[in-house]
Chains A and B, each alone.
Chain A
């Protein structure tokens, strides 16, 4: 019960059971997941008192339903951080091997192959084969490291984002390199799933890679990788999400768009960029700088944005529910505000929304695009593709 010790260190005993967490939890309406109740139960778990009826925390499989969107922690008036308690509880269940099999497979995939899909390492940089990139792993030095991340490295739809990002950097003449097949999972989802031991291994591996290749600055596709490097590695790493990096270029006058994109665009704040890291303005700055684009806000945006249900391991664990997926509701909202394009800045949002557009039959009404793809469209005309 080492995990219990970790939970004890959390601040949940000041919880006053106000229920803001449960009230704001996006998953609660479709799942048994009830953060307020879990805070109470955790208090019993570490106290000598027993609950009536007795509590069996290991039976609470809804602990795996959490997307770690952090809305509960964000809204808590007493800084209890229910999300961290849930992650701690996951660790407790994991110790007993009580984890849904698809999540177990994802974790094993990370351990054995360096990615949650368990795809061969030798295929990690296939997406970049025909692109101009430097491989730091082959001694090609560059000032900036582009950390691709598992989704953008392996998922065919998300690969398009990595490709767009590389083309954009090349168009702007920015010197960068990638780790190629040496790259390994950042561990953000591993951490969120409570697999601390595996997360420690990944931290060690990645830090030694950065050290080995003398890397000083990191750019990520995914807010999840960004979050891991920035907040979970216990080191002051110079890491930026690409939205920060490109917003910076705009500020410095280094990024101007020759093409117009005549579209109404709305934007989904990714949890790991927004609520977790307070990055709300940079993505909007990029979108608004593209000539022709009209940015409309979703009814719930910025800190109140609703999770796509792709975080916290939920990419590998689907919970059925009569209410459907949150991404489906979100796509309908985007159509309601009159958007032609639902812009995202996270590969998980991209994948869950892409699916949701299809499952709700809205392919002809709205399109999901990553901000990097919008930038690529505004930077290049179709007949002058830079690779």
Chain B
């Protein structure tokens, strides 16, 4: 029977959520296409991971090699090239993560298999594989089809498919000898590096007031800071503010920053790219202020204000201070 591969992603001793999200989506697809859902696990001393994955897949292929302990696109590519050429899965799913974007395009090129990245949905229309992707920062969706092939590779956007608990699949764990014959010399993993933390930990705050690209200058930042102060909350931001150097990167909410779940999240001048949304969508109450009524943030927020933030914020601050007195 054909196989449908899901590449397990793990880091620092933990399987990453995107793995289970892909397994859930993979299960649905494998049933529709009559393929065996197969988790592919590369690593070193990862038996425990294999057992967990076996609950979610029909099969777990495990390749154990000290050279696979930490992610290295080059080592991974060599192993996967071998595995995919040999077993010809109908589809290989990889997370659209720092790990996936470093691996999938070169792997697909070497294998000469069509690839679509950052997919938020997929289905087979006959033999044709059709995906939905987002473009222009999430403002537009694209339905695209892949060049016909007997095997495809896709990277899936994290935090898009819900990981569901299923009854344990009791998947078979199959050990495969590592095809790595020589050392990886072109690219070497050295170490992980955690940038030093600042004095404020936004991940533990109950109230977060976050700013984005809509804040045009540092003076306006002060206006928002006053709102945060009035609410007894902390100031956080989306990526462009960190890129400009206006706030340190430990204030960044999103996939490349912190995942937060405060009681109140006020997003000001943030359009709502998915990288940001995935960092804050589980907040209890979300209020968004943005001039563009079509900004994607309004699809996540509970309440929205379509207005000039420079008008609304000071007035809101005043009202909150009044209320508190």
Q: Is the CB of B244 within 8 A of A101?
A: yes
> Which of A117, A118, A156, A358 contacts B311 (CB under 8 A)?
A156
Q: Mark A108-133, 1 if CB is under 8 A from B, else 0.
A: 00000000011000000000000000
- Which residues of chain B from 206 to 254 have any CB-CB distance to chain A below 8 Å in the complex? 216-219, 244-245
B217 cross-chain contacts in A, Cβ below 8 A: 102, 105, 316-318
A152 smallest CB distance to B (angstroms): 14
Question: In chain A between 339 and 371, which residues have their CB closer than 8 angstroms to a CB of chain B?
Answer: 355, 358
Instruction: Verify B219–A318 contact, CB threshold 8 A.
Output: yes
15 new A-B contacts at CB < 8 Å, known A118-B216, A318-B219: A101-B244, A101-B245, A102-B216, A102-B217, A102-B218, A105-B216, A105-B217, A117-B216, A156-B308, A156-B310, A156-B311, A316-B216, A316-B217, A317-B217, A318-B217
Q: Does B179 contact A (CB under 8 A)?
A: no
- Bound CA span A233–B216, Å: 29
B168 at interface, CB cutoff 8 A: no
Within 8 A of A (CB), among B233-286: 244-245
In the assembled complex, the Cα of A262 lies from the Cα of B60 at a distance in Å of: 85
A116-159 residues at the B interface, CB under 8 angstroms: 117-118, 155-156
Interface string of B294-322 (1 = CB under 8 A from A): 00000000000000101100100000000
Residues in chain A near residue B311, CB distance under 8 A: 156
CB contacts (< 8 Å) of B218 on chain A: these are 102, 318
Chain A residues contacting B216 (CB-CB under 8 Å) are 102, 105, 117-118, 316
Within the complex, what minimum Cβ distance (angstroms) separates A339 from chain B?
23
Q: Which residues of A contact B308 (CB under 8 A)?
A: 156
Question: Nearest 6 A-B pairs (CB), nearest first?
Answer: A318-B219, A102-B217, A156-B308, A156-B311, A316-B217, A318-B218
B245 to chain A: closest residue by CB: A101
Q: Could you count the A-B residue pairs with CB atoms below 8 Å apart for me: how many are there?
A: 21
Residue pairs across A and B with Cβ atoms less than 8 A apart, 15 shown, are A101-B244, A102-B216, A102-B217, A102-B218, A105-B216, A117-B216, A118-B216, A155-B310, A156-B308, A156-B311, A316-B216, A318-B217, A318-B218, A355-B219, A358-B314
Which residues of A from 72 to 130 have beta carbons under 8 Å from B? 101-102, 105, 117-118
Q: Contact residues of B with A, CB < 8 Å?
A: 216-219, 244-245, 308, 310-311, 314
Q: Please give me the residue from chain A that is nearest to B219 by CB atom.
A: A318
Instruction: State in angstroms the CA–CA spacing of A316 and B308 once bound together.
Output: 17
Q: How far is the CB of B170 from chain A (nearest CB, A)?
A: 57
| Chain B residue contacts of A155, Cβ below 8 A | 310
> For chain A, what secondary structure do more than half of its interface residues adopt (helix, strand, loop), or is it mixed?
helix
* Cα distance A118–B216 in the bound complex, in angstroms: 9
A355 to B310, CA, bound (A): 11
A158 to B218, CA, bound (A): 20
Shortest beta-carbon distance, A10 to chain B, in Å?
A: 30
Chain B residue with minimal CB distance to A358?
A: B314
| CA distance in complex: A215, B34 (Å) | 74
Q: Which residue of A lies closest to B292 (CB)?
A: A120
Which residues between 218 and 258 of chain A lie within 8 Å of chain B, taking CB atoms?
A: none
A117 to B219, CA, bound (A): 13
Task: Please name the residue on chain B nearest to A116 by beta carbon.
Answer: B216
Tell me the complex Cα distance, A156–B313, Å: 13
CA distance A316 to B218 in the complex (A): 8
Binary interface encoding of chain A residues 176-192 relative to chain B, with 1 for a CB under 8 A from any of its CBs, else 0: 00000000000000000
Q: How far is the CA of A106 from the CA of B5 in the complex (A)?
A: 50
Contacts of A118 in B (CB 8 A): 216
Task: State in angstroms the CA–CA spacing of A316 and B219 once bound together.
Answer: 8
CA distance A316 to B216 in the complex (A): 8
List B contacts of A318 (CB < 8 A): 217-219
Cα–Cα, bound, A102→B308 (Å): 19
Contacts of B219 in A (CB 8 A): 318, 355
Q: How far is the CA of A117 from the CA of B308 in the complex (A)?
A: 13
Query: How far does the Cβ of B217 sit from chain A's closest Cβ, in whole Å?
Result: 5
Per the 8 Å Cβ criterion, residues 258-279 of A in contact with B are none
Return chain B residues, CB-CB under 8 Å to A105.
216-217
Question: With A and B bound together, what is the CA distance between A309 and B19 in angstroms?
Answer: 55
* Shortest Cβ gap from B86 to chain A (Å): 52
Interface positions of A from 294 to 316, Cβ below 8 Å from B: 316
Q: How far is the CB of B306 from chain A (nearest CB, A)?
A: 13
Question: Which residue of chain B lies nearest to A351 when distances are taken between CB atoms in the complex?
Answer: B310
Interface string of A17-48 (1 = CB under 8 A from B): 00000000000000000000000000000000
> In the bound complex, how far is the Cα of B310 from the Cα of A358, in angstroms?
13
For residue B42, give the distance in angstroms from its CB to the closest CB of chain A: 42
Nearest neighbor of B244 in chain A, beta-carbon distance? A101
Q: How far, in Å, is B153 (CB) from chain A's closest CB?
A: 38
A357 to chain B, nearest CB (A): 11
**Least CB distance, B229 to chain A, in whole angstroms:** 13
Q: Once bound together, how far apart are the Cα atoms of A24 and B311, in whole Å? A: 35
List, in ascending order, chain A residues with CB within 8 A of B244's CB: 101
Query: Measured between alpha carbons, how far is A318 from B310 in the docked complex, in Å?
Result: 16
Q: How far is the CA of A195 from the CA of B145 in the complex (A)?
A: 48
Distance in angstroms between the alpha carbons of A358 and B274 in the assembled complex: 36
Residue of B nearest to A359 (CB): B222
Residue of B nearest to A317 (CB): B217
Instruction: Give the CA-CA distance A215 to B99 in the complex, in Å.
Output: 60
Looking at the assembled complex, report how far the CB atom of B9 sits from the nearest CB atom of chain A, in whole angstroms: 36
A contact residues around B310 at 8 Å (CB): 155-156
Question: Whole-angstrom distance from the CB of A292 to the nearest CB of chain B?
Answer: 30
Nearest CB of A to B16, in Å: 35
How many Å from the CB of B227 to the closest CB on chain A? 13
Docked Cα-Cα span, A355 to B219, in Å, equals: 10
Q: How near does chain A come to B45, taking the closest CB pair, in angstroms?
A: 47
A152–B319 CA distance with the chains assembled, in angstroms: 27
Residues of B contacting A156 in the complex (Cβ-Cβ under 8 angstroms): 308, 310-311
CB distance from B256 to the nearest CB of A (A): 21
Report the Cα distance A156→B311, complex, angstroms: 7
Smallest CB-CB separation from B307: which chain A residue? Answer: A156
Interchain CA distance A145-B219 in the complex, whole Å: 33
B96 to chain A, nearest CB (A): 30
| Complex CA distance for A317 and B314, rounded to whole angstroms | 20
- Cβ-closest chain B residue relative to A154: B308
